[in-house]
Amino acid sequence: MIQANDDLRHLPDNDDPLWGESWYFNFYDPQNRVGMFTRIGLYPNKGVANMAVLVVADGREVYNRAWHNLPLPEGDIDTGIALGGVTYRANEMLQSYSLSFTDELTPLNFDLCWEALMPPHDSMEGLQLNAATSFHLEQAGKITGTMKLRDCEWQIAGVGNRDHSTGVRNWAAFTHHELAWPVFEDGTALGLLRIYFEGGGSADLCWAYVDGAIETLSLEDFTINLNDEGRALSASVAAVDGQGRRYDIACIRQAVVHWPFDAYVLNEGAFEFRLADGRVGYGLLELGCRLGKN
């Protein structure tokens, strides 16, 4: 079981320069049609860090800050960790987090509270270690607060996910990956990730939170329809949980933002998700690919 200490900052357990640690949060508010994706990533063996704040509104990418090779920040998630203008701080470990950001030049600022809708889950639990990471805490939640971009201000009420990752992350080992994190209106949340590796082979990191319990989830199909720029227009996903319940999901694009990691690029998408039984959810659909690969 994940403990509060697992969500704190870690010391590297090896001297690999690709050993990293990151905290990530996202949300989409379907009423305001506003979404945000943010991450702080640390590479202590290299002495550098990166951060991103990406915002979409009314179906468009409207703000993109992704800074690399920043100095390592001080602090920790329990008392506050800040980088490039963004600050994350736990109000209650594993339950509630404050997210704030100020960019006076654009200007963009937000003051948000992310609150858990489920227990944290290590999606790597029981899986063979690979180039993706060694620990990947994932958790669905709701988010509220205020966001202001130039002359637009929103009272946010959305859903989304967070993660906390530690271990060696070798983006060059991936050819591409597909990820969906829907949060449905009845509290059901799904984690669906398939990573494809250089030289062949893949790994699935999948789970379902249903009726107050986390279940195993087997991914059967993940088909993405792309535009000419390689960004996701729509997708269909099929999976079965450990109780035999099926999840056939139509994924409908709300907005997509571009996020580079050297020669590997993420298309971070805010999507609507529709189950065959009519339930509707919102959250992340992410497509990652190496530049030059289909």
In 3D space, the residue among 256, 261, 284, 257 whose CA is nearest the CA of residue 50 turns out to be 261
Which of these ranges, 37-41, 211-215, 262-266, has the smallest mean pLDDT?
262-266
Burial 172-192 (b: 16+ CB within 10 A, else e): ebbbbbbbbbbbbeeebbbbb
Higher pLDDT, 291 or 159: 159
pLDDT reported for residue 180: 98
Mean predicted confidence (pLDDT) in 39-54: 98
Q: How many CA atoms lie within 13 A of 79 on its CB side?
A: 5
By residue count, the chain amounts to: 294
Split at pLDDT 50, 70, 90, the class of 203 is confident
Dump pLDDT digits (tens) for 234-264: 999 999 999 999 999 999 999 999 898 878 8
How much is the pTM? 0.95
In 3D space, the residue among 132, 167, 26, 2 whose CA is nearest the CA of residue 88 turns out to be 26
Q: Is the pLDDT of residue 167 over 70?
A: yes
pLDDT reported for residue 169: 84
Round to whole Å and give the CA distance between 229 and 232. 9
pLDDT reported for residue 173: 83
pLDDT reported for residue 127: 58
Dump pLDDT digits (tens) for 141-154: 999 999 999 999 99
Split at pLDDT 50, 70, 90, the class of 128 is low
Split at pLDDT 50, 70, 90, the class of 66 is very high
Tokens, residue 74: 């001080």
Q: Is the pLDDT of residue 55 over 90?
A: yes
Round to whole Å and give the CA distance between 148 and 110. 6
Higher pLDDT, 124 or 264: 264
Round to whole Å and give the CA distance between 97 and 117. 13
Q: Is the pLDDT of residue 126 over 80?
A: no
Was domain 16-290 assigned CATH 2.40.370.10? Answer: yes
Contact 121, 137 (CB under 8 A): yes
pLDDT reported for residue 129: 53
Split at pLDDT 50, 70, 90, the class of 103 is very high
> Other C-beta atoms within 10 Å of 150: how many?
10
**DSSP β-bridge partners for residue 150:** none
Task: Say which DSSP state 118 is in.
Answer: S
Round to whole Å and give the CA distance between 220 and 180. 13
To the nearest whole percent, how much of the chain has pLDDT over 90? 83
What is the rounded average pLDDT for all residues in the chain? 94
Task: For 51-94, give the DSSP string.
Answer: EEEEEEETTEEEEEEEEEEEEPP-EETTTEEEETTEEEEEEETT
Q: Is the pLDDT of residue 293 over 60?
A: no
pLDDT reported for residue 231: 83
- Domain chopping of the chain, boundaries: 16-290
CA dihedral angle for residue 19, residue 268, residue 113, residue 184, rounded to 10 degrees:
-120
Contacts of 200 (CB under 8 A, 6+ apart): none
Output the CA torsion sign for 187, 56, 286, 169: negative
Mean predicted confidence (pLDDT) in 116-141: 82
pLDDT reported for residue 172: 81
pLDDT reported for residue 96: 98
Mean predicted confidence (pLDDT) in 6-21: 96
pLDDT reported for residue 120: 97
What are 194-197's contacts with CB under 8 Å, separation 24+? Answer: 194/219, 194/222, 195/130, 195/132, 197/130, 197/131, 197/173
Q: Is the pLDDT of residue 229 over 90?
A: no
